[in-house]
Structure 1
Amino acid sequence: MKRLWAALDRSLSLKVFLVCFAIIHLPLAGLLLYLGLGNPADPIPVLVVALLATLLGSLLAFGAVHYFLHPIELLVTAVDRYQEEGVEPYVQVRGSDAVGRLAETMLRLVRMQDATLISLKRQANTDPLTGLGNRRWLNNAVSSEIARAARNDLGVWVIVFDLDHFKAINDAFGHAAGDEVLMTVAETTQRQMRPYDLIARIGGEEFCVVATESGAAFGMIAAERIRLALELGKSDTQTGHLAVTASFGVYRGDPKSETFSEMMRRADELLYLAKAQGRNMVMGN
């Protein structure tokens, strides 16, 4: 008996076969029962019994087929909701027949697709070398920061800095050493800023920090802190300890009247001014 139930649990074909068998033979079984109880074989009573048995068999068959296929309907609804609202589909699977395996496979594929999309999105928004956000990520993330600053009457500090003579490091020590320097700069910048400040690598050796703060000198102080940490620190590379300096442009923007592009442009202008005046310095508005 256990083997029969196990076979039923695994086989949709066997379930459908048993339902069809019952539909076909239920009228005959009804007639045999009716006559076996000693009832007369009059045409009208026999016809009524056969009709009732047929109707009962049809209802039972409909209920059984609906029970077997209902998980597919639930799966379609769940997938539609996933497409429209992004809600991860969930269907309680009954049994291990073809319908159950289909539901499990579909749910597994959706979860795999979700994981792949999350991974691709992370890769598209992350600098693979330093682990910081890239320019695309910064442009997407900064809009909510600017909106929050506008609501709370805060300034938006844009700090753009560029490593001084970085090409010389690559030429003298190789690109591997240059990569290690960039990773050290990223870690140093993260240590000097708050966890919720936006930090991105926006070019080869160019970085950007965006912070919202009401203080009149917050950005200048933060930039000087990073500059000093880079100047006093050493970048550990396979070729030894390398000294690194950077030039900074710091601009405090008004989130109610300026776009992020305008703030970046002004910060870049200040960065170029810092380079023109000797490098390894902070220039602000």
Structure 2
Amino acid sequence: MTVSLASFTHRELTLSYRDSAPGDDQRPAVLLLHGFPDSGAMWTAQINTLHADGFRCIAPDTVGCGDSDMAPKLGDYNIVAIAGDHVALLDHLGIERVHVVGHDWGGWAAWLIAGLYPSRVHRLAVLSVGHPTAYARAGIAQKLAAWYIGFFLMGGLTEYVLGSRGPLGLARMLSGSHPDPDEVVARMSTPGRLTAGLRIYRASMGTILFRRQPTVTAPTLGIWSKGDPYLVAAQMRDSRQYVDAEWQCETIDGGHWIPLEHPNWLGARLRRFLNG
């Protein structure tokens, strides 16, 4: 299998994506959505597993990330607009319905696609992040775990500090938590890329915290890891209130980056879930 790296134009932006079976309409499609500070490349192991099982895997680079264009305005990075980008990719590829898998901010995009475009989603799998409304209502424990978000919202000061070698530098923050911090730091060193990634927080936290998002009607699998320093169990567990369909919730060992820490286990688990 050779994964194709391609692009399309939406909102006057060139947005890149990986496709394991271009033009193959016979395979059921899976849309794999990454979060911060990653790109569509994070799904390589799961693409290999799911493609071998007969799925067509599509992994876009969110606006500002990977090989996608950086948008000019802060509002271009709002999570609702990002969800719309991913639906536009399905339209571009002529795919009517798809399984959706998301991690971190990609998880929130996945929740919104399932809620705002229910006719487009067969099954939904979300890793680490619960339904946006469950997250917003998860209480003080979640607010304390998400201390870093306030730091990320501080404009240019954040970029300056993250670019340093101090305790809040990006390399130090990711060391011991992200499986490949050197790759992230190298990618984020490209001018503008760090700001683009942070703009997703700056444009979207109000949407997540203060707007009630729709219930989803697709069968849903939520996976949360015990060692996640950024997200508490309640925001995933309580997401069942916002799923008007089959709901499965699993807790596993490990940290935040489930696709990278448990690549083989996750590929096998997704294969079982997506096959129904």
TM-score range, shorter chain: under 0.3
Higher relative contact order (CA 8 A, sep 6+): 2
**Structure with larger Rg:** 1
The structure in which a higher percent of residues are strand is 2
Q: Could you tell me the TM-score, scaled by structure 2's length?
A: 0.23
The two structures have a TM-score, normalised by structure 1, of 0.22
